[in-house]
Chains A and B, each alone.
Chain A
Amino acid sequence: DAMVIQNPRYQVTQFGKPVTLSCSQTLNHNVMYWYQQKSSQAPKLLFHYYDKDFNNEADTPDNFQSRRPNTSFCFLDIRSPGLGDAAMYLCATSRQGPITEAFFGQGTRLTVV
Chain B
Amino acid sequence: AQTVTQSQPEMSVQEAETVTLSCTYDTSESDYYLFWYKQPPSRQMILVIRQEAYKQQNATENRFSVNFQKAAKSFSLKISDSQLGDAAMYFCAYKGIKAAGNKLTFGGGTRVLVKP
Contacts and interface: CB of A to CB of B under 8 A. Distances in A.
Given A45-B104, A98-B102, A40 B109 contact: yes
A97 B47 CA distance: 16
B109 A105 contact: no
Q: Report the contact-size class of chain A (Cβ under 8 Å from the partner).
A: 20 to 34
B44 A106 contact: yes
A55 B101 contact: yes
B76 to A, nearest CB: 17
B16 interface: no
B101 A42 contact: no
Contact of B47 (A31, A45, A102, A107): A102
B78 interface: no
A107 B44 contact: yes
A33 interface: yes
Nearest to B92: A42
Given A55-B101, A104-B45, A98 B109 contact: no
A33 B103 contact: yes
Interface in A93-113: 94, 96-102, 104-107
A42 B90 CA distance: 10
Contacts of A50: 100-101
13 contacts: A4-B44, A41-B109, A42-B106, A45-B103, A45-B104, A96-B101, A97-B102, A98-B96, A98-B102, A99-B33, A101-B50, A106-B44, A107-B44
Interface of B: 4, 9, 32-33, 35, 37, 42-47, 50, 52, 89, 91, 95-97, 99-109, 111
Given A49-B101, A98-B102, 16 more contacts: A31-B101, A31-B102, A33-B103, A40-B89, A42-B4, A42-B107, A48-B103, A50-B101, A55-B103, A98-B32, A98-B33, A98-B96, A98-B99, A102-B37, A102-B104, A106-B43
Interface of A: 4, 31, 33, 40-45, 48-50, 55, 90, 92, 94, 96-102, 104-107
